[in-house]
Amino acid sequence: MGMNGADIIIYIDGEAVGSQRDCSMEEQTATIDMSSKDSRAQRVDPGRYSATLSLDALYVPTDTAYLALQSAMRNGTKVEVVVVEDNVALESAEAVVTNLGKAAPDQGETTISAQLTIDGEWVSGS
């Protein structure tokens, strides 16, 4: 049986301000070049870890929640991101909202999008 996916919930001061089921998460580890002139082969060690999230259809329940998210982005306030599956918090992290977009087409639904950069590492559980 296939799994329907995880919920991504964004909190500011303990209040849920956004959630999304369809999210792109990207994790990276940079490399440090440890090569020397003695060998042609490249030698590397792990460097900095980073993670980003792209939310293309973020559900924001109220205008107040949107304004809180917008204020967090404009003021550089960190938000909490929680990944939930089957009502169980799998992992959480603090993040910076690096991009917040809104599309409001004529006679259509408004769509909110956001980009988040994780501060530090993911923590198991909530």
CB 83 within 8 A of CB 7: yes
Dist CA 97 CA 90 (whole Å): 21
Task: Identify the CA nearest to 116 among candidates 14, 7, 9.
Answer: 9
Q: Which of 8-17, 47-56, 76-85, 105-114 has the lowest mean pLDDT?
A: 105-114
Give percent of the chain with pLDDT exceeding 70.
94
- The pTM of this model reads 0.83
pLDDT cut 90: percent of the chain above it: 71
The CA-based dihedral angle spanning residues 81, 100, 50, 16, taken in that order and rounded to the nearest 10 degrees: 0
More confident: 48 or 111 = 48
pLDDT digits (tens, 9 = 90+) for 71-120: 999 999 999 999 998 888 999 999 999 999 988 888 888 889 999 999 99
CB 126 within 8 A of CB 92: yes
